Structure 1
Amino acid sequence: MVKSLQKQDFQSFHLVIVDNHSGNGSFQKLSEFYSDDQQITLLETSKNLGFAKANNLGIDFLKRNYDLCKIFIINNDLLFQDNTYLSKLTRFKYDINVGAVGTNILDSRNLQQNPIYERTNLLRLLEQNWDFFFNPIFHSHHNVFRKISQFLRQLRPEKGDYVRENIFFLHGSAILLTENYLKW
């Protein structure tokens, strides 16, 4: 990820890497590679804080130490294959009420998976808890489980009272926090 960022044509950024108590020597290896790089700050947690809290640690560091208008949160396994990606991202236009911008995430049927809208009925509960409640029962009957799962997916409507359009969240490997978010 770092090497692919270093190949970007836009280089006016500061990278914070948070080692969330990985316990595999990553922090030491990263320190060897990047300790002299003024563009990179390495942070290490004393325990695993979880994904969100580790991100918040990096965000807090950047907000305290830099005058920023945007923060781009990316996973460590993300590779930028387009060397103009950050340049394009800096020119991306959005409304004043937008606090975060997420990437496209497409499923195998080429349907958009980001953002996720809050679903509010029994079908949502079944979808979310199917594996926990029913997979052990149907484990020996894999075809039955697969067919019921496919049936539930077909029931999912695109619009209507099933989806509350105004309540959603982003997920994925790259989220841009805008100046509208950071001013809070």
Structure 2
Amino acid sequence: MRHFSFVILHYQAVEDTIECIESILNHIRYEEKDLVVVDNGSPDGSGKILAERYEGNEHVHILLQRENMGFARGNNVGFQYAKNVLHTDFIAMINNDTVIEQEDFIEGIFAYYEESPFAILGPDIISLVDQGHQNPASVKGMDRKGAKIALVINRICLWTSYIHADEYAFRAIKFLYAVKDKIRRRGKSKTSRKRNPEEVQENIQLHGSALVFSPVFIERHDGLHPGTFMYLEEDILFHLMKKENLKTVYYPKIRIYHKEDSSTKNSFSSSIDRRRFKYRHHIDSLHVYLKIMESKNVEY
């Protein structure tokens, strides 16, 4: 019988993490499953709260880290525990602010894998903020030109944040790109590939809040690229999968719900600090992404 593990990265938002854990324990009927929860150095002591709460559950493993390692490296701690200690066959890396209510979540993944072996699967992710579909994240992914433009935009937003004008700058940039995109789409073929949350789609970029890794991926890798602290992990992952000719798939028959950014929101007392955090780490991650795109080596 195949073994399935969930990896959940926790940072401060303990109520969300508990709700995520309980949704899996209470709804998913598959027996051969474990939950690996990585406390990413939460300064509020909530990691110990989780350890005490689930101390008697042999299928919930709480790993306490001394420092915040960021999204990729923090998740990799759980990924490698599931791979090397639990010897799991499949790993679902999900955000702590997600909820699963589908009883056959795991069986559905197994069934599709038998039909069409994949490296990474992305479920239908429903935002609890606006009820929108967050998958597929992108059809083609961000190219080098797009990354360089994003780098400029984030630098402008960071600089203007010190005069509290970053939101105005972002709106102006967004408006200009909306106009440009409208003009571009007028001359674009109607038969071009589109992002469609209702259909199975292969070899597209998946949203990073819920990623399911199959034996195809697990045998070759130990998690996400460790070069970023936060942001663009899914962009980098998709780029590397294309380099390795490994298949990604969006499968809408598997569903998960997402509250969005609860850990980041709980980490800052002011919105301006939160925005500056995002700008800085987007800038750092874009530098990493551009460096990876320029390299012929796919090892990480």
Report the CA distance between 1:100 and its aligned residue. Answer: 1.3
Q: If each structure's helix is expressed as a fraction of its own residues, which one has the higher value?
A: 2
Partner residue of 1:147 out of 175, 180, 188: 175
The aligned length equals: 178
The answer as to whether partners of 1:123 and 1:152 remain within 8 angstroms in 2 is no
1:138 shift after superposition: 7.9
Are 1:132 and 2:155 an aligned pair? yes
Aligned equivalent of 2:200: none
- Whether 1:175 aligns to 2:211 is yes
* Structure 2 segments unaligned to the other structure (5+ residues): 1-19, 194-202, 221-300
Amino acid at match of 1:16: V
Deviation at 1:105, TM superposition (A): 5.2
**Larger Rg belongs to:** 1
Q: Supply the distance in 2 between the matched residues of 1:128 and 1:105 (Cα, whole angstroms).
A: 27
Q: 1:180 to 1:122 in 2, by over 3 A?
A: closer
1:121-170 per-residue CA deviation (whole Å, 9 max, x = no partner) reads: 6455335533532694786588744531422443477969xxxxxx9653
Gaps of 5+ in 1: 161-166
Q: Cα offset for 1:106?
A: 7.8
Which whole-Å CA distance do the structure 2 matches of 1:78 and 1:63 have between them? 22
CA–CA separation in structure 1 for the residues paired with 2:169 and 2:95: 37
* 1:5 counterpart = 2:24: yes
Tell me how large the CA RMSD over aligned residues is.
3.5
- Report the CA distance between 1:10 and its aligned residue: 1.7
TM-score (normalised: structure 2): 0.49
Q: Among residues 39, 57, 77, which one is paired with 1:37 in the alignment? A: 57
Task: Confirm or deny: 8 A CA contact 2:41 2:66 kept in the other structure.
Answer: yes
Report % sequence identity: 19
Quick one: which of 50, 61, 67 aligns to 2:87? 67
Query: Does structure 1 residue 28 correspond to structure 2 residue 51?
Result: no
